Amino acid sequence: MVEEELKSALLGMLNAIDRTEGQDISDSLFTIDGILRKRKNELDAQLVHYLSRRSYEKALSYLEGSKSSRENP
C-alpha cells in the first residue's frame, strides 16, 4: 500500500536527520518525491498538501492518525 511505503520513507528520513546522515536523508527525500510524483492520485488531498509543502512531520502524523508523530505523551 502506498501509505505504508510513504510512512516508511518518512520515518527513514526523520531518523536519518536525527543521525545527521546526509546521504540517507537525500535517498529518503528522493523516495518521497518519487511517490508523490508517480502515485499522487492514490493519496488523500490533505496528505498531498503536506508533502508538496515539505511538511514531513505533519504528513507522518496524518499517516499515523495522531497529533504529533515524534512527541511522547
Neighbouring C-beta atoms of residue 18, cutoff 10 Å: 9
- Nearest CA to 56 out of 10, 5, 6, 7 is that of 10
Asked if residue 71 belongs to a domain, the reply is no
Residue 1: predicted pLDDT: 87
Give the integer Cα–Cα distance in Å for 48 and 42. 10
Asked if residue 26 belongs to a domain, the reply is yes
Give this prediction's pTM: 0.82
As given in the structure block, the three cell numbers for residue 31 are: 523516495
Task: State percent of the chain over pLDDT 70.
Answer: 89
pLDDT above 50 for 67: no
Asked if residue 37 belongs to a domain, the reply is yes
Asked if residue 6 belongs to a domain, the reply is yes
Residue-number span of the structural domain to which 31 is assigned: 2-64
User: For the chain, what is the domain count?
Assistant: 1
Q: Give tens-digit pLDDT for 17-45.
A: 999 999 999 999 999 999 999 999 999 99
Give the integer Cα–Cα distance in Å for 13 and 21. 9
pLDDT above 70 for 68: no
